[in-house]
Amino acid sequence: MDINFPLILVVLVFVSGVVWLIDIKFFAASRRQAVQGVEDQFQGADLSDDKIQLAYSTAKQAAEREPWPVEYSKSFFPVLFVVLILRSFLVEPFQIPSGSMIPTLKIGDFILVNKYTYGIRLPVIRTKVMDINEPERGDVMVFFPPHKSIYYIKRVVGLPGDEIRYIDNQLYINGEKMPQTLLASLPPAAPQYQIMSEDLAGVEHDMRKNIIPGRLSRRGSWVVPEGHYFMMGDNRDNSSDSREWGPVPEENIVGKAFAVWMHWDSFLSLPSFKHVGEIK
């Protein structure tokens, strides 16, 4: 079962905020009156006496004590509210769960995603309330695919109106062949795949392709509808992407991945910071 963290966060912020507001409106005044009553009761008392001091402190603490829902709401609401603002409108962290973006991103990479570069969207319902920029060819983007309500990360290959062809692991955009330069054939003794540098009309990035093209890499042709984007993984023969389930509608965009800040293979391993830096 997929956990909807944005929805959970919004609910927690709303509930804690309402509890705190209700307390301020209806119950906080009675506690203040109770505290004042304790002050009046001990006015003139010799608080240097240990017994009287203990009685005074006990009575005041009892008068000030907040119900546990109020106490927790006051503690958590500011923190949850700040987290909600950061995750919804500024930057959100993600972990890479698959190898579909190798060699650019590896399983276990922790990345940061810019949530405002493609426009400001409301949390949960994802309605855009402010336009800022549009996705550009070569961007690494987090989104919801057309067929699932889970996060995916791929590279923007096709823009609205583009004609995309992919033949034997060679990409063509609007009839133009995207140049590829060989970087390495691996493993060296009996190569099974190649690491290439691909030029997406001026945007260079590394990609990986099998010596023998996989099912989605042999032959395909698509026209990207208006308001949609054609997404492909950099690990071309091991990626479920727009070649399989079609272009991504604009309303499914989450944000632009811009940096790797940590790599952590598993709970039992140590985090690594060797490959942190900008995502290209």
How big is the chain, counted in residues? 280
Name all domains of the chain by residue range, CATH numbers in brackets.
Answer: 5-89 (no CATH), 96-278 (2.10.109.10)
For residue 236, give both structure tokens. 């071309």
CB atoms within 10 A of CB 82: 11
CB atoms within 10 A of CB 126: 14
Angle at CA 182, nearest 5°, toward 177 and 187? 135
Residue with tokens 């966060």: 9
Q: Per-residue confidence of the chain (280 residues) as pLDDT tens digits?
A: 467 888 999 999 999 999 999 999 999 999 999 999 999 999 988 888 999 999 999 999 999 999 999 999 999 999 999 999 999 999 999 999 999 999 999 999 999 999 999 999 999 888 999 999 999 999 999 999 999 999 999 999 999 999 999 999 999 999 999 999 999 999 998 999 999 999 998 999 999 999 999 999 999 999 999 999 999 999 999 999 999 999 999 999 999 999 999 999 888 889 999 889 999 9
CB atoms within 10 A of CB 47: 12
What pLDDT score was predicted for residue 1? 45
With residue 5 as reference, give the H or E element that holds it.
helix 5-22
**Could you say which DSSP state residue 252 is in?**
G
What pLDDT score was predicted for residue 2? 64
Residues near 20 by beta carbon (within 8 Å), at least 6 away in sequence: 70, 73, 74, 77
What positions carry a catalytic annotation?
100, 154
